[in-house]
Structures are given as structure tokens and as C-alpha cells.
Amino acid sequence: MRRYLARRLLGTVGVLLGVAAITFLIMRLLPGDVAQMLLSEWGASAEQVKTLRRQLGQDEPLHPQFARFLWRAAQGDLGRSIHTHRAVVQEIVSQFSSTLQLTLAGLIIGVGLGIVLGVLAAFRENTWVDGVSMGLALLGVCIPNYWLGLVMIYIFSLRLGWFPAIGVGGWERLVLPAMVLGIGVAAVIARLTRSSLLEILRQEYIVTARAKGLPQRIVLLRHALRNALIPVVAIVGLNFGNLLSGAVVIETVFSRQGLGRLTITAILGKDFTLVQGTVLFSALVYAVTNLLVDLTYAVIDPRITYG
Amino acid sequence: MALQPAASRFDERERTLVAEPARRQGWRVSLLARLARRRAAAAGLALLVVLLASAVFAPRVSPHDPVGIAPQDARVPPGPAYWFGTDQFGRDVFSRVLYGGRTSLGVGLIAVAIGAIPGTLLGLVAGYRGGRSEAVIMHVMDLLLAFPGILLALVIVAALGPGLAKAMIAVGIASIPRFTRVVHATVLSAKQNLYVEAARAIGAGETVVMFRHILPNVFAPLVVLSTLGVGLAILNAAALSFLGLGAQPPTPEWGAMVAETRDYLRAAWWASTFPGLAIMLAVLAVNLVGDGLRDVLDPRLRLR
């Protein structure tokens, strides 16, 4: 277990280095000249462009730039925003709690709703219950989340007045965005729960449990569902990535502050250090979540051992 | 949904022919026939045909100019004059949705091509060559997959700058790893076949073996993945446009239309509702067809 943990930690660090390198390269290679792009809107002189380039440290070749970026990032310094001159880490920290709240609430709704739909569909296989649940799951995959957000705002805020439409603060401002975010996850989880449960229900130990006269409820919940949920736990980590990136869109729809909004504002404002920082941070959260999920896996499924 | 009855008639006719003649017609016909025999896939196919036709014939079908502004007709609710109503500039939402289909569906198709072609080649090389090229290619793909969700596309757009073509390229590039991984896995098992060894034994070159003997094995998963990929590409490209990073106004594009009209939600719900509905129907159609193709072509892919 300790060796496995060490290998996984090392792997995660490797992936993050790679993500940092890719983000860095995309930012530096593709646009041509950041300084020129930033200043062209004000019609700056060639001299001013040169000065800004020096300030951004871009008059050097790429590899010392990258080495310096990594060295500082390892010490928790992701540079300063080009526009606000605040430390990127500080910007991220100030926005993260709002996004974390949203993604966790979305995760809870998504997993809960998904499992309920999947269980209903599997226990009533090939009936209308199955059809409706899987139809809903399919719709959940196809609905654009920003549009669903607007529909929810229209119905529940503008027409019924149940929830405030926009902003952060209090659970009543969390309900709608978390629902929208959760529905996409619920769709994936519902499908997986159903297929996993159907497979388990054909196992011999289920037959055994039934044969020895256990009530249906016990067989389904204790023997089938508990085992069926193991693969579901595995994709929760992957789905956390979808939640993080979904937050980018949802935060825009509901005018919430957060990491996603910060990323979009940075992209629209061509604030490259800020984009680099937020993306790297999202990848970090994603990687760490997946690591934690894999470790949890070992705890809940005794069949898995790590060498 | 005018085409639905026609499609179900097609369905009936094919059902009476059943297996015998279908085999002789070659896989192309039989694939379509087998697909049409599944009710969900047939519905998806019909929906897709309607959407594609309305996009292709938008200039002939549209009752109004999609970018023509008519301030006196702003925010007219849906009715006989304007089927889907008008937006805050008095532009006909129905015409804009039709023209938007040209952009959104076209972007979805091209983005998949941008992802599928390099993705397939990389997966083919990685799987067949093995060794160092495999290690390098697959590690880079793992890195690209470490960007959660739409974030990789966002980074690329951030670097390229906003714009429809750039958003399309970004969505396409971001989908490369999905294709590479599946093709790689398929090639790994396909190259175990005896005929591959036979081809090599009679002195066929590497390129010939890769493209003539191994590539055809990739066909089934690739068709399924590409079809489902079109849906994802439409969703992602429209999301980028919604965020202001894709199509720019006044270009009619579904995601951009939702964004442009969302401030007038209370006064004109229809202006953002119909383009969003169009995105959903397009993605739904593509997914139904993709699921059907998967069941017909390769049932083993089902649990993925």
C-alpha cells in the first residue's frame, strides 16, 4: 500500500508538471506576442511593447522562462495577474470557496439523483419505469447546461419567485445552480448504476441469498446495491472534473463569483498568467480528487489490493 | 417532424425484407437498414435528417432575413407572423435557428474531423509501433486528459483568441485523446491477428500493414465514437460561443443566440428557449444514432 501510494503521488506530480508545460507552451507559442496583443488596443509604440515584454519576462528564450515558472509554482507562486497585479494564488484562493460549495452541492445532487434513477431502472428492468429513467438520463446528457440554467431561472425565479436568480450567498442561491450542475452528473451515474446493478443481479450469490429466503428488500439493498455502487464510486472522481469545468459555464449563467468566472474573465481579458494559474489549479484539484477516489476504492472494495 | 412517418414506413418496408436480401446489398445498405429497424435510432436518424435538411435549405426555407433588424417588431411573441417570435432587435428567431443550424451542425462535424483524423493516426502508430513512440504518444494523451472537461478547449481558445473557427479548432484538438485511446486499444488487439503476421511474412511494408490490414478493424469503434463525438462537439462549441469565445454577433449560432438574448429572459423567453431547444434536439438525435450504431456495429462497446 505504501509503495502504491508513493507511485501514485509521483505520478500525480508528473502529470501536473506535464499540464503546466502544456499550458505554458500553448500560452507562449500560439498567440505570437502577448505584449503586442495587449498593447495593440491602445496603439502603443514599439518601445512600449518592448518594455512590457521585458516586464513579463518574455524577452528571454522559452526554457529559462519555463524553468522559472515551475520553480516559482512549486513554491506556491503563480505570478501576478497582468491586469490587477494581484498575486494569482490570492485571486484563486479568494474565489475557490464559492466554487467548491457549488461543485460539492452539485456532486451530492448528481450522485443522489443518479443512484435513485439507476436503481429504479434496474429493479424494474424493461418496464416503463426503466424507460422513463433512462430517457431522463439521455436528456440529461443532451441538454446544454447553460440553457437548462436559464430555463430554471425563468421558471423558478422569474415566474414562481421561489429562488433568487443570481449571486452568491445562502443556500437559496445555491439550489438552482447546483441542480443544473448535478443533472449532467446524475445522467452519467444513472446509466452506470443501472448496468452495474443488472450485472450483479445475475450473480450466483444473489440467487443464493434469495434461495435461503431472505426478504427481497435485504437482497436488493444489502447484497446487490452495495456491490453495484463500487464502480459508481470510481467514476465520481472523473465526474468531479466535469463539475469543475461545468462550473465555468454555470457561474456565468447565474452570475456567481468563483473559479470558473475568474477563468473566463481572464481569457476574455487576455490575462495569460491568470489563465495559466486557474487552469493549473483546476488540474491540481482534479488530479488530487482522482487520487483520493482511487484510495477510497481500496477501502470499500476488499477484493482490490495494491502491490 | 414531418419526416417521421416517412421514416417509420421505411422501417416497415425494411422489416419485411429482413435478413436475406440485406446481406446481398452489402454492409452499407444493411447497416442503414439494421439501424432503421431500431426504433430509437430510427427516430434519431429522422430527427437528424430534418435538422440537416433545414440547415442546408435555410436560405430557401427561412421566412425572414436572419440578421435583418426590425426595431418596430422587437420581442414579438411566437405567432403566425413569427413562428418562434422575435428577439430584442426584431430579428426572426425561427430564421436564426435555421441559419444557426448551418453554423452549429457544421462546426460539430468539422471539429470531429479535426479530432478524429490525427487521433486515429496517432492511435494507429502508437498501437502498431509500440515501444518509444507508443510511450510518448500515450503519455501526452494522458496529460491532455488531465485537463478537466472543457478546460483544454478553453486554454486553446485563450491562446488563439475568440472566434468561431478558432473555437471549432479548439474543440477538435481537445477531442484528439479520446480517439487516440480507443484506436490504440483496438489496434493492440487487431495486430494479434494471424493475417497481420501473414502480411508481414510475405514482406508487406509497415504502412501497408497499418492501413490495409489493421485500420479496417478500427472502423466500427471509430464510427460510433465519431457519431457520439459530433454531439459532444456541438455542445462544447455552443458552450464556447455562449461564453463569448466562439461565434461573434450577429452571426446566427445557437450557443451565441442563447447568450445574446439571455438578458431579456423575462420579456422574451422564446428568444433564448428555441435555440437552446435546437441544441438539445441536435445532440439528442446524434446520440440516438450513435447508440444505435454501437448496438449494431459493436455490442462489446456497450458498457463503455
Taking an 8 Å cut-off on Cβ atoms, the answer to whether A144 and B157 are in contact is no
Q: Is residue A275 within 8 Å of A78, Cβ to Cβ? A: no
- Find the closest chain B residue to A241 by CA distance: B148
Taking an 8 Å cut-off on Cβ atoms, the answer to whether B143 and A22 are in contact is yes
**Selected residue with higher pLDDT from B238 and B36:** B238
User: Chain B within 8 Å of A11 (Cβ-Cβ)?
Assistant: no
Q: Going from the N-terminus, what domains does chain B have, and what CATH number goes with each?
A: 51-70+89-297 (1.10.3720.10)
Taking an 8 Å cut-off on Cβ atoms, the answer to whether A15 and B143 are in contact is yes
Neighbour-count burial for A58-70, b at 16+ CB within 10 Å, e otherwise? beeeeeebeeebe
CB within 8 Å of chain B, chain A residues 53-112: none
Which residues in chain A are closer than 8 Å to B259, comparing Cβ atoms? 146
**Residue among B157, B235, B265 whose CB faces A150 most closely:** B265
User: Chain B within 8 Å of A160 (Cβ-Cβ)?
Assistant: no
Q: How far is CA A232 from CA A164, A190, A204, A228, in A?
A: 33, 9, 21, 7
Q: Is residue A33 within 8 Å of A53, Cβ to Cβ? A: yes
Rounded-to-integer distance, Cα B221 and Cα B300, Å? 10
Q: Which amino acid is at B166?
A: K
Can you name the residues that pair with B86 across neighbouring β-strands?
B92
User: Chain B within 8 Å of A246 (Cβ-Cβ)?
Assistant: yes
pLDDT exceeds 80 at position B75: no
SS3 content of chain A, % helix, strand, coil (to 5): 80, 0, 20
Rounded-to-integer distance, Cα A17 and Cα B14, Å? 56
What pLDDT is attached to residue A242? Answer: 81
Q: Which of A23, A25, A142, A181 to mutate to test the interface with B (most CBs of B within 10 A)?
A: A142
pLDDT-based confidence at B27, cuts 50/70/90? low
Which residues in chain B are closer than 8 Å to A150, comparing Cβ atoms? 258, 262, 265, 272, 276
pLDDT exceeds 90 at position B183: yes
Check whether the bond before A177 is cis (ω within 30° of 0): no
Grid cell of A170 as nine digits: 445562502
CB within 8 Å of chain A, chain B residues 234-253: 235, 238-239, 242-245
pLDDT exceeds 90 at position B288: yes
What pLDDT is attached to residue A102? Answer: 92
Taking an 8 Å cut-off on Cβ atoms, the answer to whether A147 and B280 are in contact is yes
Taking an 8 Å cut-off on Cβ atoms, the answer to whether A146 and B239 are in contact is yes
Q: Which amino acid is at B63?
A: P
Which residues in chain A are closer than 8 Å to B139, comparing Cβ atoms? 18
End-to-end CA separation in angstroms for chain A: 6
Rounded-to-integer distance, Cα A98 and Cα A94, Å? 9
Give mean pLDDT in consecutive 10-residue pieces for chain A, a chain of 307 residues: 83 89 80 59 68 69 81 82 84 90 92 93 89 91 92 88 78 87 91 90 87 86 84 82 87 89 87 88 89 80 64
What pLDDT is attached to residue B23? Answer: 41
Taking an 8 Å cut-off on Cβ atoms, the answer to whether A18 and B146 are in contact is yes
CA distance B219 to chain A (A): 25
pLDDT-based confidence at B10, cuts 50/70/90? very low
